[in-house]
């Protein structure tokens, strides 16, 4: 198949590109490089021995996007492109709605105009909103009590896609709700390398290991969980990438929705222990009050994806930590604390 990946040089897009190239699909990666580097394309080629096409376009640049679609034909689009920093979205809501919602509308309009009506969209567990449940299932109501403009932009795009599919039966759309992606390709050649100060757990752990942040603060030790720290459903990004291949193989008319998660919760303390096990060294950390907006557990029920997509996670948090260490060893790092061998 001839596939377009928007946001294809980003963290998840680059891992999906590897899986799809390994299956001999033809790929074009479209990105404005606002949160990724063009060198990722060479790394993908190094891993797969195949070269995807790369095109630098901003989804907000409608004329360039239309020119591009005028000259290219695709069977399917996987739409990863978007801004994803939760805290920044609270400070700059208009930028987030414009980039994520308007950028998506521009893409869907261009696809529609050129008769490309197969789409996989990167959504997030954040659309379920803040609520205290053991596990999230796809039939639960979405849109209530979402903690950020980022999260609401994902909810809005999901709703737009439902309306689009209702208006035209030719659309085949899969909404994939990711839980917490971690890890990287085992080669260590690609991985998450965020610009600026991260807020998510794994990028912070990596910066502590590189000596760029003195310690990890574990937010909250009095949650109603076994060790008092929050539980999240961490999913290895290679498993997540394979979820896109599965979704692609089972696309059907209308909108289908899938949770992509492992179904298993891991606590923040367990994450620290898993990293320490992989590195063989203690990770500097301290305990701090709860982070506003956090809830005790966010865990997927992945049964629908297991059943309908014939997909399930095969890699563990332990695998993700091992691969993260490989990535860290290959990245230019400040080794002042000599943490990374
Ligand atoms: P990422 O930032 O690494 O990748 C996104 C890519 O999109 C970047 O390369 C960026 O340069 C590009 N981009 C952003 N706006 C663009 C625009 N207007 N035009 C063209 N390119 C643009 O993020 P990621 O972690 O790979 O996430 C991919 C998708 O998955 C995002 O939509 C994100 O919201 C979603 N998601 C991510 C997570 C996570 O924890 N990483 C969780 C749930 C959902
Ligand atoms: C966060 C976002 C969510 C988004 C997701 C993307 C919030 C409230 N939620 O979710 O909308 O979809 O990222 O992956 O921002 N932790 C620490 N110390 C740190 C950082 C994190 O203890 O320095 C803890 C957090 O309290 C949480 C866990 O680690 O319990 C995971 O945090 P994080 O990686 O930010 O993900 P989420 O909170 O699940």
Q: Using one digit for the tens of pLDDT, what is the confidence trace for 234-263?
A: 999 999 999 999 999 999 999 999 999 999
Taking residue 23's Cβ as centre, other Cβ atoms within 10 Å add up to 12
Among the listed residues 96, 97, 128, 150, the single catalytic one is 150
Is 9 close to ligand 1, i.e. is its CB under 6 Å away?
A: yes
**pTM of this structure:** 0.97
The CATH class for the domain spanning 201-232+264-337 reads: alpha beta
> How do the residues of the chain divide into helix, strand and coil, expressed in percent and rounded to 5?
40, 20, 40
pLDDT 10s digits, 177-228: 999 999 999 999 999 976 677 889 999 999 999 999 999 999 999 999 999 9
CATH 3.90.25.10, the chain: domain bounds: 201-232+264-337
d(CA 81, CA 78) in angstroms, rounded, equals 9
Q: Minimum-distance ligand to the CA of 100? A: 1
From the list 78, 29, 81, 36, the residue with the least C-alpha distance to 59 is 81
Q: What is the DSSP letter of 125?
A: G
- Cβ count near 252 (within 10 Å): 10
Provide CB contacts within 8 A for 120, sequence distance 6+. 76, 77, 78, 79, 173, 174, 176, 244, 247, 248, 251
CATH 3.30.930.10 for the 2-183+234-260 domain, yes or no: no
Dump pLDDT digits (tens) for 260-298: 999 999 999 999 999 999 999 999 999 999 998 899 999
Residues of the chain with CATH 3.40.50.720: 2-183+234-260
- Residue 130 tokens read as 């803040």
Q: Which residues line ligand 2 (CB under 6 A)?
A: 86, 124, 126, 147-148, 151, 180, 199-201, 204, 216-219, 230, 232, 268, 291, 293-294, 298
């Amino acid at each position: 198949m001839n596939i377009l990946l928007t946001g294809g040089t980003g963290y998840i897009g680059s891992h999906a590109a590897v899986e799809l190239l390994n299956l001999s699909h033809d790929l074009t990666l479209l990105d404005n490089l606002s949160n990724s580097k063009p060198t990722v394309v060479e790394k993908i080629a190094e891993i797969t021995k195949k070269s995807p096409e790369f095109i630098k376009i901003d989804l907000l640049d409608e004329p360039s996007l239309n020119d591009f679609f005028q000259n290219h034909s695709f069977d399917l689009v996987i739409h990863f492109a978007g801004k994803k920093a939760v805290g920044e979205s609270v400070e700059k809501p208009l930028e987030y709605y414009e980039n994520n919602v308007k950028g998506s509308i521009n893409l869907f309009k261009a696809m529609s105009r050129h008769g490309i009506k197969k789409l996989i969209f990167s959504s997030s567990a954040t659309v379920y909103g803040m609520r205290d449940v053991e596990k999230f299932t796809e039939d639960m109501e979405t849109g209530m009590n979402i903690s950020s403009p980022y999260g609401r932009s994902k909810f809005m795009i999901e709703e737009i896609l439902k309306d689009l599919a209702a208006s035209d039966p030719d659309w085949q759309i899969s909404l994939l709700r990711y839980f917490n992606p971690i890890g990287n390709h085992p080669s260590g050649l690609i991985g998450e390398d965020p610009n600026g100060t991260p807020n998510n757990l794994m990028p912070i752990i990596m910066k502590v290991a590189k000596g760029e942040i003195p310690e990890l603060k574990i937010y909250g030790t009095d949650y109603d969980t076994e060790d008092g720290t929050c539980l999240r459903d961490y999913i290895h990004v290679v498993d997540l990438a394979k979820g896109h291949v599965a979704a692609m193989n089972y696309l059907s008319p209308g909108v289908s929705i899938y949770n992509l998660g492992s179904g298993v919760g891991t606590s923040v303390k367990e994450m620290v222990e898993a990293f320490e096990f992989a590195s063989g060294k203690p990770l500097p950390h301290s305990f701090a009050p709860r982070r506003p907006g956090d809830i005790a557990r966010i865990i997927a029920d992945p049964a629908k994806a297991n059943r309908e997509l014939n997909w399930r996670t095969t890699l563990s948090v332990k695998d993700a930590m091992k691969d993260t260490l490989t990535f860290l060893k290959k990245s230019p790092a400040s080794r002042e604390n000599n943490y990374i061998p």
